[in-house]
Chain A
């Protein structure tokens, strides 16, 4: 008898627990966003990566940002400076070179979360820290481009640039002088400043945030909670709470999305993979909204050009010809992420239609290899006259299933062209540090690089951007590519102030790239986001994080 009662009780409890899920009404004022990779540190301008950009912009806005039409827009300022509107001008420096002066006015009523107004003092402070080499900001649009800030009044300032740069109108977030200055003064180096910054010691301090939301609660490794900033002068946020819920891997995110635990999830980086999104879309076309836009983030393979095998351009061409990139994107992404022919996608206004492209051609690849002295040996792997085997290591980040899949496909496809590939999946930290930045890879490494409208392709192609101790291991020219023609084209690009000049420079850069193939371009990541269908006014931009418009989001 007792048994039966206990059993009945257990059943009842189970029913209650289970029905809790079925009956729970979705809370329309809250948006739960699933994310991968909890922030290593909360400081918005130190150790910045794509994942951090997806988060920080809810609460801290850049001065300017690109909108969904790739047009630079003011976020904190009144008007975007340009040569046409006179807010930016080219001036002569005392030493005879050319420089620039760029004038900004902060929006009326901008305020930190604690009610302190955002003023030019904050700009001056941020510029000071951003130019301090010991602090080491790593934001996308470096403050070090400006040599000084001239304060006009509380809201207006002029940035003085010692060189003419095309990215003069793009500037990132500013920091609250009233909170961070005393900490900066007491901790003048990166190590201790980052540890002591309020962004890390007490990130829920309202005065740290000037966006439409501010961080009100967090649990390490688990979640961040953003709630409206009462002092935000813009539109009142449509959601009363955004919860960023962190999961370990993309399949956990997918499970949580399907079980209704989370309402939205970004698609790689920082979320589920593109192919997982396609899986969900295939099975639940109506259950979610799928926001997809072209992106500028390029997946590519850098090659160590110091390796004698890879220093031969014929081998590099053969490698690219033997990878069936069309088949890869068709199979894994239903063709919705574009094959890359170079640094820019075919839809970019700056795309060079005249350059050489390399579509899959195994026969041509084999011919090129034999021209380069590589002929198939007994086991099908090529050897050269000296008896060396054509074997290369392909390293990429561990835990990213799409990358691991593609690496295995490339391994398999290159073996058809007599190239032996060994794959290696390393933790992200090790990949970024030792492998890429220290150039400790011997063959190929696969990762992505983003060319924003304001970023110069020099970071990946300039001969002075090969990471070494001289440039303090900055730069993303991991291949070690050095070309005078490319350097000249890059110089033109960096000083171009009109769209025509920029386009001409881009054309030259793309042609040279296609001839030299310092990297193997694979495909462009699309910008994608999966959300519950009732999320509206959701703007998706090509380059800058969509959180810049988070106050516009509503659920109905």
Chain B
């Protein structure tokens, strides 16, 4: 009965290994990925390094302001005698964490909205997509500033918890996710509509699958490709948004360092210490640029048009 020989089948090879191979071919993306990995590793070294050098990142030392780079302070000190390098590293942790967390959150949000709209269709779809259009229409930064200015004690939160650094951090993550989930929603919706009408979903339905099963088992894995590409590019935008917001004073506030609020501080010191304006900005730029290149690489790697795999009937 068996009329297909095993030898005729290609060796099993996951689509991921193929993609990784393509990604490796995108040189800028590869370099960027290495850069980001190194940067993240360095930022994560902040605590051990500060222990090793005997530095407390928030400890001010007025006798050691604007110190030139030396054995203890590798990039020198700032206007309050704090170590610039360690603060940059902590700031990097914040930026990267906000970037990843907010992207994750907005992916969840966008996918929830998009898949609901795409899979249910009809009036739900119409309403949700109008909502998405509205959000897209809004200028992001002014909206973020309002959200950043919202007094959480008016929402019943205690003043102490509203002012805690962790809460301020989460608040940034949440408000960025709240205003920027629309791209994800559109992609998820388009994907969901496509997958919804695929025969494999129909076959599962005939076999007794409910909506939940189809969404989880069929829709989500099949729209993951464009979502991963979009998410990568989003990380860069989020880092930029966070730094802009912190720079404008509606983001993460001192003494917690971020690249954005370090620039606010540096803005005041451009006469006495113009170099302080260089590092954080350069890091934001390099990080966002690298993330965008990686995004471009991922897009290239995932692009089916660039796929060599032929489909023969």
Q: Which residue numbers of A lie inside 8 Å of B, CB to CB? A: 249-251, 254-255, 258, 273, 276, 279-280, 282-283, 324, 327-328, 330-332, 393, 398-399, 401, 404-405, 408-409, 411-413, 415, 422-425
Instruction: List 6 tightest A-B contacts by C-beta distance, closest first.
Output: A331-B62, A279-B272, A412-B60, A279-B271, A251-B268, A409-B60
List residues of chain B with CB within 8 A of the CB of A255. 270
Q: Is the CB of B249 within 8 A of A424?
A: no
Alpha-carbon separation in the docked complex, A276 to B265 (Å): 12
Could you list some 8 contacts between A and B, CB below 8 A?
A254-B270, A279-B271, A324-B62, A332-B62, A393-B163, A405-B79, A411-B58, A413-B60
Q: A327-B62, A408-B60 are in contact. Are A251 and B267 (CB under 8 A)?
A: yes
A255 to B271, CA, bound (A): 9
- Within the complex, the shortest CB–CB distance from B248 to chain A, in Å, comes to 11
Minimal Cβ-Cβ distance residue in B for A330: B62
Q: Is the CB of B58 within 8 A of A408?
A: yes
Contact mask for chain B residues 48-63; partner A; CB cutoff 8 A; 1 contact, 0 none: 0000000000111011
Pairwise interchain contact B62-A425, C-beta atoms closer than 8 A: no
A415 to B81, CA, bound (A): 16
Q: Could you mark each residue 251-263 of chain B with 1 if its beta carbon is under 8 Å from any beta carbon of chain A, else 0? A: 0011100000000
Instruction: Check if A398 sits within 8 Å of B249, measured CB to CB.
Output: yes
Residues 267-285 (chain B) with a chain A CB within 8 angstroms: 267-272
What is the CA–CA distance of A398 and B80 in the complex, to the nearest angstrom?
18
Chain B hits for A273, CB < 8 A: 268
Residues of A contacting B163 with CB < 8 Å?
A: 393, 422, 424
Q: Which of A276, A409, A412, A422 contacts B268 (CB 8 A)?
A: A276
Most A CB contacts (10 A, CB to CB) among B59, B62, B265, B269 go to B62
Q: Which chain A residues border B249 with CB–CB below 8 Å? A: 398-399
Whole-angstrom distance from the CB of B112 to the nearest CB of chain A? 35
A20–B247 Cα distance when bound, in Å, is 32
How would you classify the secondary structure of chain A's contact residues: helix, strand, loop or mixed? helix
Contact across chains for A404 and B271 when beta carbons are under 8 A apart: no
Which residue of A has the minimal Cβ distance to B267? A251
Residues from chain A with Cβ under 8 Å of B269 in the complex: 251, 279
Residues of B within 8 A of A422 (CB): 163
Residues of the B chain whose Cβ atoms lie less than 8 Å from the Cβ of A327:
62-63
Which residue of chain A lies nearest to B272 when distances are taken between CB atoms in the complex? A279
By beta carbon, the residue of chain A nearest B59 is A412
The answer to whether A409 touches B272 (Cβ under 8 A) is no
CB distance from B160 to the nearest CB of A (A): 8
- Set of chain A residues within 8 Å of B268, measured between Cβ atoms: 249-251, 273, 276, 401
Kindly list 10 other residue pairs between chains A and B, CB separation below 8 angstroms, not including A251-B267, A254-B271: A279-B269, A279-B272, A283-B271, A327-B62, A331-B62, A399-B249, A401-B265, A411-B58, A412-B59, A423-B255
Nearest chain B CB to A237 CB, angstrom units:
32
Smallest beta-carbon distance B276→chain A, Å: 12
B65 at the interface (CB under 8 A from A): yes
Q: In the assembled complex, which residues on chain B have CB atoms less than 8 Å from the CB atom of A282?
A: 272
Q: What distance in Å separates the Cβ of B116 from its nearest Cβ neighbour in chain A?
A: 39
In the complex, A401→B269 CA distance in Å? 10
- In Å, the complex CA distance between A491 and B43 comes to 61
Q: Which of B19-77 contact A (CB under 8 A)?
A: 58-60, 62-63, 65
The interface residues of chain B lying within 8 Å CB-to-CB of A250 are 268
Interface size for B (C-beta < 8 A) is 21
For B271, what are the chain A residues with a Cβ–Cβ distance below 8 Å?
254, 258, 276, 279-280, 283
Interface centre among B60, B253, B255, B269 (most CB of A within 10 A): B60
Bound Cα distance from A238 to B302, whole angstroms? 73
CB contacts under 8 Å to A, within B74-120, are 79-81
Is the pair B267, A331 in contact by a Cβ cutoff of 8 Å? Answer: no
Contact of A328 (CB < 8 Å), options: B62, B265, B272: B62
A251-B268, A254-B271, A279-B271 known; A411+B255 contact, CB < 8 A? yes
Which chain B residue shows the least CB distance to A413?
B60
Identify which of residues 225-268 in chain B touch chain A, using a CB-to-CB cut-off of 8 Å: 249, 253-255, 265, 267-268
- Which residues of the other chain, B, contact A276 by a CB distance below 8 angstroms? 268, 271
Report A-chain residues with C-beta under 8 Å of the C-beta of B63: 327, 331
Given A328-B62, A401-B265, A405-B79, A425-B253 contact (CB < 8 Å): yes
Alpha-carbon distance between A424 and B160 when the two chains are bound, in angstroms: 11
B267 contact set on A, CB distance < 8 A? 249, 251
Residues of chain A within 8 A of B58, CB atoms compared: 408, 411-412
Inter-chain contact A408/B62, CB cutoff 8 Å: no
Other-chain residue from B80, B253, B265 in contact with A409 (beta carbon distance below 8 A): B80
B265 neighbours in A (Cβ, 8 Å): 401
Q: How far is the CA of A551 from the CA of B270 in the complex (A)?
A: 34
For A422, the closest partner residue in chain B by CB is: B163
Q: Are A405 and B255 in contact (CB under 8 A)?
A: no
Interface residues of B in 184-239 (CB under 8 A from A): none
A295 to chain B minimum Cβ distance, whole angstroms, is: 22
CA A324 to CA B255, docked complex, whole Å: 19
B80 to chain A: which residues have CB within 8 Å?
405, 408-409
In contact, B254 and A409 (Cβ under 8 angstroms): no
Which of chain B's residues have a CB closer than 8 A to the CB of A279?
Answer: 269, 271-272
How near does chain B come to A297, taking the closest CB pair, in angstroms?
A: 21
B257 CB to nearest A CB, Å:
11
**CA of A405 to CA of B82, assembled, Å:** 11
- Contact B62 A251, beta carbon cutoff 8 Å: no
Instruction: Report chain B residues within 8 Å CB of A408.
Output: 58, 60, 80, 254-255
1/0 per residue, CB under 8 A from A, across B142-173: the answer is 00000000000000000000010000000000
Q: Identify the closest chain A residue to B255 (Cβ).
A: A408
Residues of A within 8 A of B253 (CB): 425
Provide the bound-state CA to CA distance between A280 and B268, in Å. 12
Separation of A67 and B279 alpha carbons in the complex (Å) = 47
Contact B62 A404 (CB under 8 A): no
Contact (Cβ within 8 A) A251 B60: no
Hey, which chain B residues are within 8 Å of A423, CB to CB? Answer: 254-255
Nearest B-chain residue to A404, judged by Cβ: B254
Shortest CB-to-CB span from A405 to chain B, Å, is 6
Closest B residue, CB atoms, query A284 = B271
Minimal Cβ-Cβ distance residue in B for A391: B160
Task: Determine the distance from Cα of A423 to Cα of B272 in the docked complex, in whole angstroms.
Answer: 26
Residues of B contacting A283 in the complex (Cβ-Cβ under 8 angstroms):
271-272
- Contact partners of B65 in chain A: CB under 8 A: 331
Cα-based distance from A80 to B255 in the complex (angstroms): 51
Residues of B within 8 A of A330 (CB): 62
Cα separation A533 to B81 with both chains bound (whole Å): 33
Q: Which residues of A sit under 8 angstroms from B272, Cβ to Cβ? A: 279, 282-283
